[in-house]
Structure 1
Amino acid sequence: MRVIAGEARGRALKAVPGTNTRPTTDKVKEAIFSMIGPYFDGGWALDLFAGTGGLGIEALSRGMEKAVFVDQDRNSISIIRANVATTGMTARSEIYTNDAGRAVKALEKRGMRFSAVFLDPPYRLTHMDELILQLDERKLLSDDAVIVVEHDGSHEYPEVIGRWEQRKRSAYGEIAVTLYRCRQDDRQDGDTEAGNGQQE
C-alpha cells in the first residue's frame, strides 16, 4: 500500500498484521479519490473505521487540512500512528481508540464538522445508512460533504438516506463503493468549520 497522490505521494504504508483488517487496495483508493477530488482545498476528513488510516492519509496528502482517525482495535491505532508519522501528517491528525457509535457522540460534543467521511467497516456491518443519519443528526456533516462507503458488492445501500442521496455506486470485483452527497433542496445554513482538538 502507498499514498497515491499529493504531498506524500509514493510513501509506503504499513498494514495491520493478521486478517481482521481489510485495507483499501491502491486501485480502489485511486478510484475513490478520482470520484471525489482528486484534490481538496482544506476541510476536515473523518476516517471512522480507519484500519491502516490509508483513506484519511490520502485525503490529507491531497489537501485536506486535518483528519480524524477512529478505530476500536489497538493494533490498528498503532499502525495509524506509524503511517501518519511516516507521511509527515502527525500534526494534522487526531487518532482515537473508540467504536464508531461512541466516537460520533464524542465528536458532537466538540462541535466538529466534516467535509469528507470515509466509512470502510468490516463487511459484516451493513448499517452504515443508520450511521450516516446519526452523523447528520449530530450536525457532524457540512452541507457540501461527501460520504464514501466501501462495502461488500452484494450489499445495496438506499438511494436516499435522510438528506443524503446516492450519487454514484461503483463495483470493483467483490468490493463496491457508494458515494453520497446532500440533496440541494435539503441544505441548511451552518458553520462548516471543524473545532480544534488535541491528538490522543
Structure 2
Amino acid sequence: MDDDDEPNRGPKKPQKRRSQKLRIIGGSMRGRVVVYHGAEFTRPMKDSVRESLFNIIGPRIKGAYAIDLFAGTGAVSFEALSRGASRATAIEMNRMALRFLRSTAETLGVTEQIKFLAGDTFRLAGPLLEHSIRADVIDDTPRVIFFCPPYAMWESRAEQLAKLLKNAVENSPPNSLIVAESEKHFDPDGLPPGQWDHRMYGNTRLSFLEPPMVCGM
C-alpha cells in the first residue's frame, strides 16, 4: 500500500512517479526483474529483508494461499508465488500501483495464480479473511497472510489494524502463518495476544505468529 493513500480532507496532489527495479530473489522466477514506474511514496520491502523473510518461513509458503493485504509494488506477492504459493490475493487501493501489479503479473506469467482487489483494505479484508469459515465453502488451505502497511499506519490506524489482525488470527485455517512488518520502534503490545516471534533487520521489525487452532475448524 502507499503512504499517500491514508484519508485526508484536502485535494489530492498529483502523484510523483519514480522508477525502481524489483528483483525476484528465489524460487521458480529467481532473477526476474521488473521496473516499477509508480507513486514515489510506495515503500517496497527491501530485498535483504524480503530474502530473510522467505528464508524464515521456508517451506511454509509451498502450496499455501498467500494474502497480501497492503500490496504496493507486489514484491511480496510475486516472491510468494515464485517460492511455491498455490495462489495469491493482493489488495491495493492506489490506481497507479494496481496498473503496475496487473502488468507485472502478465510479464511474469502468473495472471492465473493471483487475484487483485482494488480498494480499501479495511473494507475488503474482512470478507476475504472470513471466507474459509463460511458454511458453504470448504477451504482449509494454509495461509500466509502479510500485513505490510505504511509504517505510519501502525499509529494513525492502530485500532483498525488490531481488529484486522484479530480477524486473521481467529479465522485462519490450521497451519497458517501471519507476518507483520513494522518499523523497529513499534510497540509489539499493539499486536493481538500470542506467541509472536520478532526479528529485527535495520529499521524493520518482522513479527511472525502461527494462529492457534480454533475448535471446530
Same fold (TM over 0.5): yes
Q: Does 1:148 align with 2:175?
A: no
1:67 maps to 2:88: yes
Give the structure 2 partner of residue 135 of structure 1. Answer: 168
- Residues 5, 108 of structure 1: alpha-carbon distance in 2 compared, 3 angstrom cutoff: closer
> Deviations 1:21-72 (Å, cap 9, x if unpaired)?
1001110000000111156331211001000111111111111110001011
Once residues 35 and 130 of structure 2 are traced to their aligned partners in structure 1, the CA distance between those partners, rounded to angstroms, is 32
Q: Which residue of structure 1 lines up, in the alignment, with residue 203 of structure 2?
A: 174
Structure 1 residues 154 and 37: CA distance shift in structure 2, 3 A: same
- 1:14: how far off? 3.0
Question: Number of residues paired by the alignment?
Answer: 184
**8 Å Cα contact 2:162-2:191 kept in structure 1:** no
| Structure 1 residues 134 and 124: CA distance shift in structure 2, 3 A | same
Shift of 1:189: 4.0
Q: Tell me which moved more, 16-25 or 4-13.
A: 16-25
| Partners of 1:104 and 1:135 within 8 A in 2 | no
- The aligned residue for residue 115 of structure 1 is 143
Gaps of 5+ in 1: 191-200
Residues 1:39 and 1:160: Cα distance change in structure 2 (over 3 Å) = closer
**Cα pair 2:39 2:97 within 8 Å, conserved:** no
CA 120–16 in structure 1, closer or farther in 2 if over 3 Å, else same: farther
Instruction: Tell me the equivalent position of 2:58.
Output: 37
Q: Is the 8 A contact 1:14 1:79 kept in 2?
A: no
Larger Rg belongs to: 2
RMSD of Structure 2 on Structure 1 (CA): 2.2
Corresponding letter in the other structure for 1:142: P
Question: What is the distance in 2 between the residues matched to 1:67 and 1:96?
Answer: 11
What CA distance in whole angstroms lies between the structure 1 residues aligned with 2:102 and 2:43? Answer: 18
Kept in 2: contact 1:3–1:58 (CA 8 A): yes
8 Å contact from structure 1 (residues 143, 188) kept in 2: no
In structure 2, the residue matched to 1:197 is: none
Segments of structure 2 that go 5 or more residues without pairing to the other structure are 1-21, 133-138
Normalising by structure 1, what TM-score?
Answer: 0.82
Higher helix share: 2
Deviation, structure 1 residue 160: 6.6
